[in-house]
Amino acid sequence: MVCRIMEPRTRDTPIPSFSVKTMVPTLNGTGFMFEVLDEYALDWIRFAASSADPVLDLGCAYGAATLPALEAGARVVASDMEPKHLEILADQVPERLRDHLECVAGTLPGIDFAPARFAAILCSRVLHFLNGADIDASVARMAHWLKPGGRLYLVTDTPYGIWRRAIPAFENAKRRGERWPGIIVGLHDYLPTAGVKRHIDKPPFMNLLDAELLARTCIEAGLRVERAGFIDRTDFRGLGRMDGRENAGVMAVKP
Ligand SMILES: C[S@@+](CC[C@H](N)C(=O)[O-])C[C@H]1O[C@@H](n2cnc3c(N)ncnc32)[C@H](O)[C@@H]1O
């Protein structure tokens, strides 16, 4: 599914563009929102639509997952550290769905919500901006915000996509049993093109993950992992050689 984000109707903040049209640059140098939704986001949307309780889209950017979830009938709390993303998202929402959307500006790991508020949480391609302790603290908080039976969907970058130059160090650190093998600094040394570098210029480091590391974090937060694996992002293969492991995802349930 492709969720196309239109220019905002009432705000004058222009949405930047990129050579791969389905990758929409963020306004705060944290990379791209993907308009082509992966299987974890699609499952979050399906589950959200079937639930009477609200769901959370954490690090929603301009709402590539929030907008179809609202259209499918879900009640969504959309949250992001960049308030302008939320303004643009709110501008896209048709009047008939406005009371199904709440926008909350905030930053992980500090942002907080009421315990057991959400039926499901999607946190897609955000956790890799946090250090290990902050990832663990954030996922523990997400577990706390879920209702019993609620679902957590996490997606992150791996070393096997645009960060391929990190593969040898990642695999060596994993072999040595390091807890967070994917920490890299000096991000522009890793990125494939000037165009990508232009839109990823704020994070001081990346903490690249794989499905095994995501599953470990969920288990340590008291969740039951139902599904974990790599995600094949065929939509951005134009950026250089990739191998079908560009992102990693996990779906875990609160017992
Ligand atoms: C790479 S984009 C991903 C957007 C979308 N979720 C997706 O998967 O395509 C990261 C988004 O997360 C937000 N973000 C980054 N770090 C964050 C943090 N620590 N807390 C909350 N939001 C954050 C950014 O502002 C940006 O909108």
Residue among 255, 198, 205 at smallest CA distance from 226: 255
Domain total in the chain: 1
- Centroid of ligand 1 to alpha carbon of 143 (angstroms): 19
- Centroid of ligand 1 to alpha carbon of 41 (angstroms): 14
Atom of ligand 1 lying closest to residue 62 CA: 27
Which residues have C-beta atoms less than 6 Å from ligand 1? 26, 28, 30-34, 59-61, 64, 80-82, 85, 107-108, 124-126, 129
Residue 131 lies in a domain: yes
Residue 67 lies in a domain: yes
Question: Residue 208 and residue 190: Cα distance in Å, rounded?
Answer: 12
Block residue for tokens 């969740």: 223
Question: Residue 105 and residue 8: Cα distance in Å, rounded?
Answer: 18
- Max Cα distance, the chain (Å): 54
Neighbours of 22 (CB within 10 A): 17
Residue 197 lies in a domain: no
The predicted model gives 6-26 an average pLDDT of 77
Residue 98 lies in a domain: yes
pLDDT digits (tens, 9 = 90+) for 159-168: 999 999 999 9
User: Which CATH number fits the domain that encloses residue 245?
Assistant: 3.40.50.150
In terms of DSSP H, where are the helices of 24-151? 39-49, 66-71, 83-92, 132-145
Q: What is the pLDDT of residue 238?
A: 67
Block residue for tokens 């998202």: 89
Residue 187 lies in a domain: no
pLDDT digits (tens, 9 = 90+) for 216-231: 999 999 999 999 999 9
Question: Residue 55 and residue 70: Cα distance in Å, rounded?
Answer: 10
Give residue 126's pLDDT band: very low, low, confident or very high (50, 70, 90).
very high
- Centroid of ligand 1 to alpha carbon of 84 (angstroms): 12
Atom of ligand 1 lying closest to residue 129 CA: 16
CA 223 to each of CA 121, 140, 153, 170: distance values in angstroms, whole numbers, following the listed order? 13, 9, 11, 26
Residue type, 83: P
Q: Which of 77, 81, 130 to mutate to test the pocket of ligand 1 (most atoms within 8 A of CB)?
A: 81
The predicted model gives 177-182 an average pLDDT of 98
Question: Residue 232 and residue 191: Cα distance in Å, rounded?
Answer: 19
Three-state DSSP state, 230: strand
| Buried b or exposed e, range 106-142, using 16+ CB within 10 angstroms | eebbebebeeebbbbbbbbbbbbbbebeebbbbbbbb
Atom of ligand 1 lying closest to residue 34 CA: 9
Alpha carbon nearest to ligand 1 atom 16, residue: 126
Q: What is the pLDDT of residue 234?
A: 81
Q: What is the pLDDT of residue 74?
A: 98
Residue 30 lies in a domain: no
Domain containing residue 127 = 38-164+208-253
pLDDT of 121 higher than 70: yes
Tell me the two tokens of residue 178.
Answer: 């390091």
Residue 24 lies in a domain: no
pLDDT digits (tens, 9 = 90+) for 84-104: 999 999 999 999 999 999 999
Contacts of 204 (CB under 8 A, 6+ apart): 185
Q: Which of 3, 23, 30, 85 to mutate to test the pocket of ligand 1 (most atoms within 8 A of CB)?
A: 30
Q: What is the pLDDT of residue 7?
A: 62
pLDDT of 6 higher than 80: no
Give residue 110's pLDDT band: very low, low, confident or very high (50, 70, 90).
very high
Block residue for tokens 């065929």: 234
Atom of ligand 1 lying closest to residue 130 CA: 19
Contact (CB, 8 A) for 103 and 90: yes
Alpha carbon nearest to ligand 1 atom 13, residue: 59
Contact (CB, 8 A) for 220 and 143: no
Q: What is the pLDDT of residue 1?
A: 65
- Centroid of ligand 1 to alpha carbon of 94 (angstroms): 23
Residue 219 lies in a domain: yes
Q: What is the pLDDT of residue 192?
A: 80
